[in-house]
Amino acid sequence: MKICLNCHTENHDTADKCVHCHMPDNFSEPDMPHDALTNRPTVNCRNCGSEEPGHGPKCVHCHFPLPAGAPHSQHHSLSKISVKSNWRTG
């Protein structure tokens, strides 16, 4: 498995260019075994559906904020407010 140094997409061992960004011959070999890469937690982006974790609270592809429970998420989720408690009683 080859990892693209430009977009961090996993490619096949025989790839000569990245399947995502099409950058030719810009790969590195992963430092960890293949099983560790496949067992990592994934979070789907609500905007584009990407499963790549990225770095920080935004998607690596579309920069849309990741869900609150995502790894590397820096923002805190707000407590849910009941709509019923906001209704006027008068």
Q: Which residues contact 85 (CB under 8 A, 6 or more apart)?
A: none
Kindly report the backbone phi and psi dihedral angles of residue 86, in degrees, each rounded to the nearest multiple of 5, phi listed first: -90, -10
78 or 51, higher pLDDT: 51
User: What pLDDT, on a 0 to 100 scale, did the predictor assign at position 17?
Assistant: 92
More confident residue, 70 or 53: 53
Output the six-digit token pair for 60. Answer: 């690596």
- Give this prediction's pTM: 0.35
Domain ranges of the chain: 1-40, 41-75
What does the pLDDT read at residue 6? 85
Average pLDDT estimate for 5-33:
84
Backbone angles phi, psi at 4, to 5 degrees: -70, 130
Averaged pLDDT, 39-53: 73
Q: Which residues pair with 28 in a beta bridge?
A: 3
* C-alpha span between 39 and 30 (Å, rounded): 14
